[in-house]
Amino acid sequence: MEFNFDIRSYFSSPIVTIHNSLIPAHFQGDKRELNLCYQHMSEIIDKIGAASAIAQGLQKPITSALKILNSEHTLYLLTDRNGGPKKHGVVIGLLKMGWKNLFLFNKAGECIERNTLCILDFYVHESMQRMGCGNALFEHMLQDMKVLAHQLAIDKPSQKFLCFLNKHYGLSQIVPQNNHFVVFSQFFDDISKKEGMKKKAPWSCKDKASDFVSKPTRHLHSQLW
Ligand code: ACO
């Protein structure tokens, strides 16, 4: 994904982390340069967020500069600093993470309420998919956040993403939930060892579903459940 400005001064390494200031961590410059960086980062985030939404068939982006500004989300951007016809660099992908308080059910129907790190948006530009870029971005996030893939919840994963998780992390056993988040069976192994699951919830999964289901699922294939 190209821009009509040079992105290299904003991206000191192939993967940069963005929080709600929109300014990359290692950016240095005077006030004018900082303002320009802010404008350019907004443009970058809006454009790649829109591309991600199109790729997932969503009606509107779930990642935009405005949404990042008003959140505590962490956005990782993958770039090729020497890419593009003018060698001004190109943006290849995004991965957005955030914490959510979730009620999750294990296979036995036991419930746990837990502040859970979630994958909220993940996208690699069409020209670069299936070349390891997604895995590079994902591995960077796991190390940065000091977390394992099975400890994450995923907001409405697409079929491509489910294949990705199966291929790179051997994650395939989805435990059905009443919300639009997906967790794998190993998620509960860790919790049972550390904290113990709560007894069966006093309400049934169906009773509680209306509290949790706010959006339709995105691309889930029923045979995977
Ligand atoms: N069909 C099936 N599996 C795919 C496809 C595809 N078109 N593309 C990637 N994968 C999976 C496969 O397991 C593939 O391995 P394979 O080529 O041996 O079959 C593996 O991902 C490739 O791994 P990477 O190259 O590291 O991943 P990539 O750079 O392609 O990034 C991503 C993966 C982000 C899912 C990318 O395919 C993409 O952007 N897809 C479109 C948007 C999307 O679906 N995003 C996830 C939405 S859900 C959410 O964000 C919470």
For residue 65, give the nearest of 86, 41, 83, 88 by alpha carbon: 41
Q: How many secondary structure helices (H) and strands (E) does the chain include? A: 6, 7
Higher pLDDT, 161 or 83: 161
Q: What pLDDT sits at residue 210?
A: 36
Q: Ligand 1: which atom is nearest the Cα of residue 124?
A: 39
Calpha distance 183→120 (Å, rounded): 13
How many A from CA of 156 to the centre of ligand 1?
Answer: 14
Q: What pLDDT sits at residue 25?
A: 86
Note the pLDDT tens digit of each residue in 161-215: 999 999 999 999 999 898 999 999 999 987 766 665 555 544 444 444 433 433 4
Q: Ligand 1: which atom is nearest the Cα of residue 120?
A: 51
Give the closest residue (by CA) to ligand 1 atom 35.
Answer: 161
How many A from CA of 67 to the centre of ligand 1?
Answer: 24
Confidence band for 222, pLDDT divided at 50, 70 and 90: very low
* Partners of residue 104 on adjacent β-strands: 112
Q: What is the percent of the chain with per-residue pLDDT over 90, rounded to a whole number?
A: 72
Q: The tokens 């400890």 sit on which residue?
A: 151
Q: 183 near 212, Cβ under 8 Å?
A: no
Among the ranges given (3-17, 66-80, 109-123, 195-209), the one the predictor scored with the smallest mean pLDDT: 195-209
Confidence band for 85, pLDDT divided at 50, 70 and 90: confident
Name residue 37's amino acid.
C
Confidence band for 131, pLDDT divided at 50, 70 and 90: very high
Among the ranges given (50-64, 101-115, 134-148, 205-219), the one the predictor scored with the smallest mean pLDDT: 205-219
Q: Ligand 1, from 92, 122, 129: best to mutate by most atoms within 8 Å of Cβ?
A: 129
Strand order in the sheet with 15-18: 15-18, 74-80, 90-105, 111-124, 153-155, 181-184, 174-175
CA distances from 10 to 35, 90, 161 (A): 12, 12, 28
Q: Rounded to an integer, what is the distance from CA 219 to the centroid of its chain?
A: 16
Q: Ligand 1: which atom is nearest the Cα of residue 135?
A: 26
Average pLDDT over residues 24-53: 95
Confidence band for 143, pLDDT divided at 50, 70 and 90: very high
How many A from CA of 124 to the centre of ligand 1?
Answer: 8
pTM, to two decimals: 0.89
Ligand 1 site, CB within 6 A: 55-56, 119, 121-124, 129-135, 154-158, 160-161, 163-164, 167
Q: What pLDDT sits at residue 220?
A: 41
Q: What pLDDT sits at residue 196?
A: 57
Q: Ligand 1, from 92, 100, 119, 130: best to mutate by most atoms within 8 Å of Cβ?
A: 130
